[in-house]
Structure 1
Amino acid sequence: MEKQTLPNATLILVFGILSIVGCCCYGILGVIFGVVALVLAKKATAMYTENPELYEGYNNVKTGKILAIIGLIISALYVISLIIIFTTIGYDGYMEMVREQMGQY
C-alpha cells in the first residue's frame, strides 16, 4: 500500500518558518503563525500516531512544530517588551527613541 503525505505537513513547516520571520512585524504575525502551526501540528501528530505506517512527512511536522515554538517564544518576548515600553514611556517616548536611533545612522 502506498504511503500518503500527512495533511498540512508542508503548511506546518511554512507556518513555522513564517512565525520566526513574523517576529520582525512587532511580534503579532509571529504569534499568529506560531499558534496556527502548533494547532495543525497537533492534529497531524494525532493522525500519525494513530497509523504511522500509512503516512510519511512526519519530519516536516516535527521541524515545523519546533520552528513554531521558537517563533512563538521570540514573538511573545517582543510583544511583552513592547507592552512594557509603551506602558512606561508611552508612544511619544517610543517615537523619540526611534528618531534618536535613526539619527545615529
Structure 2
Amino acid sequence: MNPHTTQELRLLPWTGAEGKPCYLIGDGHGYVSRLADDIESVQLNMAAHLLAHTDNLLSDRSATPEQLRYAIARLAESLRDVHRIARNRNTRHTTPGRTDHPE
C-alpha cells in the first residue's frame, strides 16, 4: 500500500444482513467506490422523480387514500436513501487529513 494514500471509511448506499450499515475502507477510487457513486446517483434521481410524482398526486383531488399511503411509503424509503447519502458525503467532506477539496 502506498503510504501517501489516504484511507477513508465510506458509508455505502446499501445495507448488509439485518439492515446493518455497510462500510468501505479505501482511497475512494476503486470499483466498489464507483459502484456506490452510481447507486447514489440512481437513488437521487429516483427521489427527484418520486417528488414530482407525489406533487402531481397531491394536486389530484381524486387520489385515493391507498395511493397516498403508497406514495408516503416510497417517500420514506427514498428519504432514508437520501439521508444516508447526505451523511456519507458530509463525513467524507469533513474527514481530517483529506487532501482533496469538496466542490
- State the TM-score, normalizing by the size of structure 1: 0.45
Structure exhibiting the larger radius of gyration computed from Cα positions: 1
Higher relative contact order (CA 8 A, sep 6+): 1
- State the TM-score, normalizing by the size of structure 2: 0.46
Name the structure with the higher helix share. Answer: 1
